Amino acid sequence: MSRENIESRNEPVAGEKLIELRVNSQVYVLRVGRGPGELDPAHTLAFTLRETLGLTGTKVSCDKGACGGCTVLREAEAVLSCMLLTIECGGKEITTIEGLKDAKTGALDPLQQSFIDHSAFQCGYCTPGMIMSSKALLTANPSPAEEEIKEALSGNFCRCISQYQVVEAVKAVSGKKG
Amino acid sequence: MKTFDHYDAHSLDEALGLLANRCGKARINAGGTDLLGLLKDGVLPRYPELIVNIKTIPGLGYIEEDGERLRIGALARLCELAGSKLLRERYAVLCEAAGAVAGPQIRNVATVGGNLCQDVRCWYYRYPAHLGGTMECARKGRGPCFAIKGDNRYHAILGGRKCFAVCPSDLAVAFAALGGQMTIVSPRGERKIAVGDFYSPLGNGLADDEIVKEIDVAKAFGPGRQRFLKFTVRKPIDFAIVSVAAVTEEKNGVFANARIAIGGVAPGPFRAEKAEEKLIGKKPSEALAAEAAEAAVEGARPLSKNGWKIEVAKALITRVIGS
Ligand SMILES: Cc1cc2nc3c(=O)[nH]c(=O)nc-3n(C[C@@H](O)[C@@H](O)[C@H](O)COP(=O)(O)OP(=O)(O)OC[C@H]3O[C@@H](n4cnc5c(N)ncnc54)[C@H](O)[C@@H]3O)c2cc1C
Ligand code: FES
Ligand code: FES
Q: Which residues of B touch A5 (CB under 8 A)?
A: 13, 17
Answer whether A125 contacts ligand 3 (Cβ < 6 A): yes
A3-99 topology per CATH: Ubiquitin-like (UB roll) (3.10.20)
Query: A with B: how many residue pairs have Cβ under 8 Å apart?
Result: 114
Torsion angles phi and psi, residue B6, rounded to 5: -140, 140
Interval B6-53: pLDDT, tens: 999 999 999 999 999 999 999 999 999 999 999 999 999 999 999 999
Specify the DSSP element, H or E, that contains B212.
strand B211-218
Q: Which amino acid is at B154?
A: Y
Ligand 2 surroundings by CB, under 6 angstroms: A 60-63, 65-70, 80, 82
The residue ranges of DSSP E strands in chain A, in sequence order, are: 18-23, 26-31, 71-74, 77-80, 93-95
Ligand 1 surroundings by CB, under 6 angstroms: A 65-66; B 27-35, 37, 74, 78, 101-102, 106, 110-111, 113-115, 117-118, 168-170, 206, 211-212, 237, 239
* Contact indicator for B249, B257 with CB cutoff of 8 Å: yes
Residue B65 has pLDDT above 60, yes or no: yes
Q: Which amino acid is at A88?
A: E
Interval B127-171: pLDDT, tens: 999 999 999 999 999 999 999 999 999 999 999 999 999 999 999
* Contact indicator for A97, A126 with CB cutoff of 8 Å: no
Contact of A51 with chain B, judged by CB distance below 8 Å, is answered with no
Q: On the CB side of A1, how many CA atoms lie within 13 Å of its CA?
A: 16
Percent of chain B with pLDDT over 90: 94
Residue A178 has pLDDT above 90, yes or no: no
Angle (nearest 5°) at CA A92 between A88 and A96 = 100
Q: Which ligand 1 atom lies nearest to the CA of residue B170?
A: 11
Four-CA torsion B32, B34, B35, B36, nearest 10 degrees: 70
- The DSSP call for residue A105 is T
Cα torsion B227, B231, B234, B236: sign: negative
CATH annotation of A110-173: 1.10.150.120
Q: How far is CA A78 from CA A68, A133, B85, B243, in A?
A: 9, 6, 22, 27
Interval B82-129: pLDDT, tens: 999 999 999 999 999 999 999 999 999 999 999 999 999 999 999 999
Q: Note whether B102 contacts A65, CB cutoff 8 Å.
A: yes
**CB-based contacts of B220, cutoff 8 Å, min separation 6:** B179, B257
Q: Which ligand 1 atom lies nearest to the CA of residue A65?
A: 53
User: Cα–Cα distance between B247 and B228 in angstroms, integer?
Assistant: 9
Looking only at the bridges linking them, the beta strands covering B270-271 and B254-263 are antiparallel
Give the model's pLDDT for residue B222: 66
Four-CA torsion B180, B185, B190, B194, nearest 10 degrees: -20
* Contact indicator for A86, A43 with CB cutoff of 8 Å: yes
Domain boundaries, chain B: 224-322
Hey, which CATH number is domain B224-322, 3.40.50.300, 3.30.390.50, 3.40.50.1980, 1.10.150.20?
3.30.390.50
Q: Note whether A12 contacts B187, CB cutoff 8 Å.
A: no
Domain boundaries, chain A: 3-99, 110-173
* Contact indicator for A71, A133 with CB cutoff of 8 Å: yes
Q: How near does any CA of chain A get to the CA of B23, in Å?
A: 13
Chain B contacts to A (CB-CB under 8 A): 1-8, 13-14, 16-18, 20-21, 29, 31-33, 36-37, 39-40, 50-51, 53, 55, 79, 102-106, 108-109, 185, 187, 189, 235-237
* Contact indicator for B155, B138 with CB cutoff of 8 Å: no
3-state secondary structure of B141: coil
Residue A73 banded pLDDT, cuts 50, 70, 90: very high
Give the Å distance between the CA of A95 and the centre of ligand 2. Answer: 16
Query: What are the DSSP calls for B176-203, one per residue?
Result: HHHT-EEEEEETTEEEEEEGGGSEETTE
Interval A125-164: pLDDT, tens: 999 999 999 999 999 999 999 999 999 999 999 999 999 9
User: Cα–Cα distance between B80 and B87 in angstroms, integer?
Assistant: 10
User: Inter-axis angle of helices A163-173 and A110-117, to 10 degrees?
Assistant: 140
pTM score, two decimals? 0.96
Give the model's pLDDT for residue B299: 93
Q: Which residues of B touch A60 (CB under 8 A)?
A: none
Residue B219 banded pLDDT, cuts 50, 70, 90: confident
User: Cα–Cα distance between B94 and B171 in angstroms, integer?
Assistant: 7
Q: Find the length of chain B.
A: 323
Give the Å distance between the CA of A84 and the centre of ligand 2. Answer: 11
Looking only at the bridges linking them, the beta strands covering B189-194 and B181-186 are antiparallel
- Nearest by CB to A155, which of B7, B189, B236? B236
